[in-house]
Amino acid sequence: MARHSTEQRIYEESEYLLNALRQLNGVPTDVSHVLMNAVSNIMCSMVFGRRFDYDDKDFKDLLLSNHMVMTKLQASALLTFIPILWYAPMPFKRELRHHFEKIIDYAKREISKFRHSTKNEPLPESFISAYIRREDEYRKSKSEGKESVQHFLEDPEHLQWTVVNLFTAGTHTTAISLSWVLLFLCLNQDVQ
């Protein structure tokens, strides 16, 4: 992943973010959605090796599912303290599961594209491609009888869950933090 640094990905996406903000023509707007698009695209670039147009249907669906998962998880915080409530019938659990499964399915499809690419196809630099290379190295060293403590590479679902966690948690928390930064900058113009 070092060939395409995180800083470069952020810089490239910031141009798209600025263009989206310019299109608002100075009209007071809640920019949290635009920030979510930008942050999510940086995560997509790092994890999947590509960014999306802000109007892309798959991208919008992915963001909606991510938003719903994070919203429903926040709503279920009480269940952390009273775990027996997880067994009670609650309508939000079905919706949470539905959107979470959509994110998992997307991650599986993307991982499958990487796994089934041919040697002639250059894979985009991403977390997935780096992970798959590491898996291959691990398998090779294991077949050669070398010891390794990286047993997590043997779990076929580990990559999928790591991708889902990086995307969901990384996108939401960073976008919310940036929203707060912008709010504080608006309220403290001397700091701007």
Per-residue model confidence (pLDDT) at position 150: 66
* Structure tokens belonging to residue 149: 């403590």
Rg of the chain, C-alpha, whole Å? 20
* Structure tokens belonging to residue 97: 């599961």
CATH topology of domain 6-187: Cytochrome p450 (1.10.630)
Per residue in 34-54, pLDDT (tens digit) is: 999 999 999 999 999 999 999
Please tell me the distance from the alpha carbon of residue 92 to that of residue 185, in angstroms, as a whole number: 35
Q: Locate the domains of the chain by residue range.
A: 6-187
Predicted structure pTM score:
0.83
Per-residue model confidence (pLDDT) at position 121: 74
User: Backbone dihedral region of 26: left (phi > 0), alpha (psi from -120 to 50 degrees) or beta?
Assistant: left
For residues 16 and 54, the answer to whether their CB atoms sit within 8 Å is: yes
- Looking at residue 52, the DSSP 8-state letter turns out to be -
For residues 34 and 21, the answer to whether their CB atoms sit within 8 Å is: yes
Q: Flag residues of the chain having pLDDT under 50.
A: 1
Per-residue model confidence (pLDDT) at position 148: 67
Per-residue model confidence (pLDDT) at position 3: 55
For residues 40 and 16, the answer to whether their CB atoms sit within 8 Å is: no
The 3-class SS string of 140-177 reads HHHHCCCCCCCHHHHCCCHHHHHHHHHHHHHHHHHHHH
Per residue in 150-162, pLDDT (tens digit) is: 677 777 788 999 9
